C-alpha cells in the first residue's frame, strides 16, 4: 500500500527549507507514489492538527524561495505554550500522527529538532530528520543546509563594511549569529579578511584585541574589522559559565540543578547585546572611533545559494528513497561526499563545535588574524 508521510520544519528558519520540502515531496509523490502532508509551524501543527496536502501545485515554484512554506516555530512537543500554560503535548502529537495514518514523519531542523525527534521516536513514531541550520553545528554531519547562504551573506556584509571602515579609519565590530558554535564567524571572517575573529569556543581578552588593532594602526593600516559570534565570551565570562556548568553537573538534587540552570539561562539572556559593550571597550582601549553592525536575521533571510539548493534537494530526494525502504530513526548526514544515515540518538544532545586547533583557526592565524587569545 502507498505510504503516507508527514513533513514539518522546526526551529529557526533558513534558506533551503523550501528546496528540501520540494525535493522530498516531488520524489516521494512522483517516484514512490506516496501521499505527502505538511504540518504547519513546527511541532505545533502536529499538536494542534494543522496541516495541508502537499500536492504538485504546492511543491511547484518554491525552489528559490527563502523561509518555509510550512511555517516554523521553536515549540517542543513535551513543553508547549497552549492558552498561556506550558503543557506536555506529546500525546496530542502522537494522536495526530495516528489520526492521519502516517507511516513516517520527516522533521527538518537543527539541534533542538533532533532532540524533539528522539522524544517522538521514544513515543513510538517513525521519524527521519534532515539537518538545517545556519550555525552548521549539528553533530555527525559535515554540513547543514542554510549555512552556505548565511556565510555568503555575512561575507558580502564584511566586504561592504571594509570600504566604510577604511574611509573613516574606524574599527567596525560585526556581530554574526552563532550562540555556541563559531563556524559562521570563523569562515565568513576568513572569507571577508577580518582582522579579528572572536568565537564562543576561544575566550578572548579585550586587551589582546586592542593590542592587535594598535599594531595594525602603527603599521599604517588605520582601520580594523572585528567579527564576533554572538556567543563569544571574554576569559572571565567563559570561566563563570564553566564553573556554573561544572557545579550543575555535580549538583546532588534536582532542585539545585534547576537553580544553577536558571543562573546559566540568566547569564545567556544578559549576554545578548554584549557586542555593544565590547565595541565601547575597544574604542576606549584603542582611542580609535568604533562602530557596531549586528547582521542578525539578515543572515537567515532570502533566496538560498546554489550550494544550499543542491544540498537541500539532494537531502530531500535521498530522504524519499530512505522512506521507501522504510528506514526510520535516522538523520541524513553529509560525510565526505556521501549522504549517510546516522541514528538520531547519536546526534540529539550533541553539538559540533569549532575545535580550538581546527585547521581553519590555524589558517586564520597564519594570515595574521587575531582570535583574541
Locate all alpha helices (DSSP H) within 123-253, ordered by sequence: 147-168, 183-191, 206-218, 235-250
- Asked if 135 touches ligand F6P (CB under 6 A), the answer is yes
If you count them, how many residues does the chain have?
373
- Asked if 134 touches ligand F6P (CB under 6 A), the answer is yes
Distance CA(326)–CA(113), nearest Å, equals 21
- Asked if 186 touches ligand F6P (CB under 6 A), the answer is no
CB of 17 or CB of 19, closer to ligand F6P:
17
Tell me, rounded to whole angstroms, the distance of Cα 234 from its chain centroid. 22
**Stretch touching ligand F6P by CB under 6 A, among 132-140, 166-174, 261-269, 341-349:** 132-140
**Closest distance to ligand F6P from the beta carbon of 11 (Å):** 6
CB of 42 or CB of 329, closer to ligand F6P:
42
Q: Of 49, 60, 373, which is closest to residue 201 (Cα–Cα)?
A: 373
The values of phi and psi at residue 240, to 5°, are -65, -45
CB–CB of 93/47 below 8 Å?
Answer: yes
**Stretch touching ligand F6P by CB under 6 A, among 34-42, 63-71, 172-180, 263-271:** 172-180
Number of residues engaging ligand F6P in binding (CB under 6 A): 12
Distance CA(130)–CA(251), nearest Å, equals 35
Please identify which of the residues 13, 135, 148, 195 carries the catalytic annotation: 135
Name which of residues 217 to 236 contact ligand F6P (CB under 6 A).
230
- Asked if 179 touches ligand F6P (CB under 6 A), the answer is yes
CB–CB of 294/272 below 8 Å?
Answer: no
Q: Which member of 104, 172, 174, 177 binds ligand F6P (CB under 6 A)?
A: 177
- Asked if 42 touches ligand F6P (CB under 6 A), the answer is no
Q: Which member of 8, 10, 11, 196 binds ligand F6P (CB under 6 A)?
A: 11
**Would residue 135 show up in a list of annotated catalytic residues for this protein?**
yes
Residue of minimal Cβ distance to ligand F6P: 12
What number of other Cβ atoms are within 10 A of residue 161's Cβ?
A: 22
**Cell numbers linked to 344:** 538520531
Q: Of 100, 115, 106, which is closest to residue 20 (Cα–Cα)?
A: 106
- Asked if 12 touches ligand F6P (CB under 6 A), the answer is yes
**Cell numbers linked to 303:** 533566496
- Asked if 178 touches ligand F6P (CB under 6 A), the answer is yes
Name which of residues 280 to 319 contact ligand F6P (CB under 6 A).
300
Distance CA(116)–CA(43), nearest Å, equals 9
* 80-82/290-294 β-pairing: unpaired
CB of 34 or CB of 153, closer to ligand F6P:
153
Residues near ligand F6P (CB under 6 A)? 11-12, 74, 110, 133-135, 177-179, 230, 300
Active-site positions read 135
Amino acid at each position: 500500500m502507498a505510504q503516507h508521510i508527514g513533513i514539518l520544519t522546526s526551529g529557526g528558519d533558513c534558506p533551503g527549507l523550501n528546496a528540501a520540502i520540494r525535493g522530498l515531496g516531488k520524489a516521494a509523490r512522483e517516484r514512490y507514489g506516496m501521499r505527502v502532508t505538511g504540518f504547519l509551524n513546527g511541532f505545533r501543527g502536529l499538536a494542534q492538527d494543522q496541516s495541508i496536502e502537499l500536492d504538485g501545485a504546492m511543491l511547484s515554484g518554491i525552489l528559490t524561495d527563502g523561509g518555509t512554506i510550512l511555517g516554523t516555530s521553536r515549540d517542543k512537543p513535551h513543553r508547549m505554550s497552549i492558552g498561556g500554560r506550558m503543557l506536555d503535548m506529546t500525546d496530542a502529537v502522537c494522536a495526530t500522527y495516528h489520526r492521519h495514518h502516517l507511516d513516517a514523519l520527516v522533521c527538518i531542523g537543527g539541534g533542538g529538532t533532533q532532540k524533539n525527534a528522539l522524544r517522538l521516536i521514544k513515543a513510538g513514531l517513525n521519524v527521519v530528520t534532515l539537518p538545517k541550520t545556519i550555525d552548521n553545528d549539528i553533530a555527525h554531519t559535515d554540513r547543514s543546509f542554510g549555512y552556505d547562504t548565511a556565510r555568503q551573506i555575512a561575507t558580502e556584509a564584511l566586504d561592504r563594511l571594509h570600504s566604510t571602515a577604511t574611509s573613516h579609519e574606524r574599527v567596525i565590530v560585526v556581530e554574526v549569529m552563532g550562540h555556541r558554535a563559531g563556524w559562521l564567524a570563523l569562515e565568513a571572517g576568513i572569507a571577508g579578511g577580518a582582522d579579528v575573529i572572536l568565537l564562543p569556543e576561544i575566550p578572548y581578552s579585550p586587551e589582546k584585541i586592542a593590542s592587535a588593532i594598535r599594531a595594525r594602526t602603527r603599521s599604517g593600516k588605520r582601520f580594523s574589522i572585528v567579527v564576533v559570534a554572538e556567543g563569544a565570551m571574554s576569559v572571565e565570562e567563559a570561566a563563570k559559565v564553566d564553573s556554573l556548568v561544572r557545579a550543575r553537573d555535580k549538583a546532588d538534587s534536582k532542585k539545585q540543578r534547576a537553580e544553577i540552570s536558571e543562573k546559566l539561562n540568566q547569564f545567556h539572556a544578559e549576554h545578548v547585546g554584549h557586542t555593544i559593550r565590547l565595541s565601547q571597550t575597544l574604542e576606549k582601549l584603542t582611542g580609535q572611533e568604533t562602530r557596531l553592525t549586528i547582521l542578525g536575521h539578515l543572515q537567515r533571510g532570502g533566496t538560498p545559494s546554489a550550494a544550499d539548493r543542491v544540498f537541500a534537494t539532494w537531502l530531500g530526494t535521498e530522504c524519499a528513497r530512505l522512506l521507501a525502504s522504510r528506514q526510520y530513526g535516522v538523520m541524513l548526514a553529509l560525510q565526505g561526499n556521501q549522504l549517510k544515515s546516522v541514528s538520531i540518538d547519536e546526534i540529539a544532545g550533541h553539538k559540533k563545535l569549532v575545535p580550538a586547533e581546527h585547521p581553519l583557526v590555524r589558517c586564520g592565524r597564519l594570515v595574521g588574524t587575531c582570535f583574541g587569545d
